[in-house]
Amino acid sequence: MAVFVLGAALRALAMAGYRPALWFPDTYTYVVTVFHPRPDLVRPAGYSMFLKLLEPLHSFAAVAAVQHLLGLATGVLVYLAARRAPRWAATPAAVPVLLDAYQVELEHLLVADTLFMFLVVAAVVLSTTRRPATVAAIGLLLAAAVLTRTVGQPLIVVLAGWFVLRRRIRPAGVLLAAALVPLVAYGAWFYSTYQRIGLVGANGAFLYARAMSFADCARMDPPPDLRVLCDPRPPEERPPSQEYIWAKDAPLVRLPGITFTKENDELAARFAALAITSQPLDYAASVLGELGRTFTWGRPVYPDAEIYGYYEFPVTEPGPPGRYPAQVGAEYAKLYEQGAIGTKIVEPYAGWLRAYQSAARLPGPVLLGVLLVPPVMAVAGLRRRRQGRPRAGAPAWLVLWSAAAVLLVTPAAAAEFDYRYVLPAVPLACLAAALSLRPDVLRRVPGG
């Protein structure tokens, strides 16, 4: 209870110190979709729908408050699920999501990650319960997560595979149906808008940007239509991957039409596929390099100072958006708020939070250690079985650990490392570690 109260107090400080909320470049796109409901080419509309539900309040402070409540609710979910482990492990499992300063800051940002985290944690935790009636709910939660951030798509396969592993074939089918119906409906909406199949229209562009961290056109020998996307600079002299999507002088951005037209995205996808198949080891090394950023002790500035700065509680009030699309979104944000927008910094509350953020976070090596606990316990379990002890069956931590691993690996493989992409995986990793500590008690999950 003390940890929960402290977590609530930190979130109250954020509400008091940074009013009404903190802004991110993506925020403005989400707000535009609130007023012009249509699928976005880059981001699914789930978070915009969330904002739409809260629009009658005309308050971004209310949005931030709800996101803080979702963060607290995620901590409660982790704690309650971890009580099946040794009782002493339940509170430590919930500490990172409740007390990590960067988690609190992310909740105060008007971005999709907090909503995504709650939906994913709720779905995965439900998959470890004994109630068959929750299977359809799991599928719907996963669909909502995917429509909030498309990085959640592999989780549908992970959770369906979990039910198959437990020999629960029919529930696996129910989960897939419950998840796919909303996604197919959204895909139909997307197709009717753009005459393109998919949930977004930027997958090829993002994978191209990812490939540019290692792509060597001399080795790839691309055909003439793809050669226009080459960068003659050696990989070590190139900018971060995201620059190949947003920088004005990027090869893809210089092509006719907007960056995410069907033709440009398909061209980018073909280039990326050729780069990966021509240089598979370089691609693997690049993915591991990006993933490795997750486990560094400090927080080096990455991918650039501007993005990095959005994850720190600011000292001075942020200025108005500079890019034209964000300026358009800012005008719609004023309609949403029905008043002026911006962030007002109120001392001493903001200063207390900044001081707290300088000390209270989950370091990367600690997260790596948390991820290693379940495999280590699994090896210990194998030794017990060799000594004649009972077989434990499919352990409950397996689905949690797998989901956490997928959430960490997928951005590194398909886009690039970003600090905010790590945080949704943390609650699942901590819960998996807690549940792996007593495999002798967790003999079997249903059907295991």
Same domain flag for 246 and 373 = no
pLDDT of residue 134: 86
Mean predicted confidence (pLDDT) in 380-384: 67
Task: Give SS3 for 302.
Answer: coil
**Do 183 and 42 share a structural domain?**
yes
Residues 398 and 255 reside in one and the same domain? no
Q: Would you call 340 helix, strand, or coil by DSSP? A: coil
User: Shortest CA distance to 416 belongs to which of 302, 266, 305?
Assistant: 302
Report yes or no: 155 and 120 within 8 Å, Cβ to Cβ. Answer: yes
182 shares its domain with 51 = yes
Q: Indicate whether 370 belongs to any domain.
A: yes
How many domains would you assign to the chain?
Answer: 2
Evaluate whether residue 246 is within a structural domain: yes
Enclosing domain of residue 118: 2-190+315-435
CA 70 from chain centre, in angstroms, equals: 15
Q: Per-residue pLDDT for 8 more than 80?
A: yes
**Domain termination residue (choose one: 249, 264, 295):** 295
The reply to whether 285 and 335 lie within a common domain is no
Is 276 inside a domain boundary? yes
DSSP state, residue 448: -
Within a domain: 28? yes
18-44 pLDDT, tens digit per residue, is 999 999 988 999 999 999 999 999 999
Same domain, 162 and 208: no
Q: How many residues are recorded in the chain? A: 448
* 267 in the same domain as 336: no
Residue 183: exposed, middle, or buried by beta-carbon count in 10 A (0-12, 13-18, 19+)? buried
**In a domain? residue 183:** yes
Rounded distance between C-alpha atoms, residue 299 and residue 290, angstroms: 14
Q: Has residue 310 been placed in a domain?
A: no
In-domain check, residue 447: no
Task: Let me know whether 22 and 150 are in one domain.
Answer: yes
Say whether both 381 and 412 belong to one domain: yes
Q: Note the pLDDT tens digit of each residue in 111-136.
A: 999 999 999 999 999 998 877 668 99
Q: Is residue 162 part of a domain?
A: yes
Quote the pLDDT of residue 422: 94
* pLDDT on residue 258: 85
Q: Are residues 291 and 333 in the same domain?
A: no
Q: What is the rounded CA–CA span in Å between residue 252 and residue 233?
A: 15
Average pLDDT of the chain, as a whole number = 91
DSSP class per residue in 61-79 = HHHHHHHHHHHHHHHHHHH
Same domain membership, residue 355 and residue 323: yes
Q: Quick: pLDDT tens for 217-226.
A: 999 999 999 9
Cα first-last separation, the chain:
33
More confident residue, 386 or 144: 144
Contacts of 19 (CB under 8 A, 6+ apart): 61, 343, 344, 346
pLDDT of residue 447: 41
CA atoms within 13 Å, Cβ hemisphere of 162: 29
Query: Which helix (H) or strand (E) covers residue 224, if one does?
Result: helix 224-227
Write the pLDDT tens digit of every residue in 316-343.
988 766 665 677 888 899 999 999 888 9
User: Is the torsion defined by CA of 413, 415, 417, 419 positive or negative?
Assistant: negative
Q: Is residue 419 domain-shared with residue 282, that is, in the same domain?
A: no
Residue 246 contacts residue 416 (beta carbons within 8 Å): no
Q: How far apart are CA 127 and CA 266, in angstroms?
A: 36
Quick one: average pLDDT of 234-239?
90
Is the CB of residue 223 less than 8 Å from the CB of residue 230?
A: no
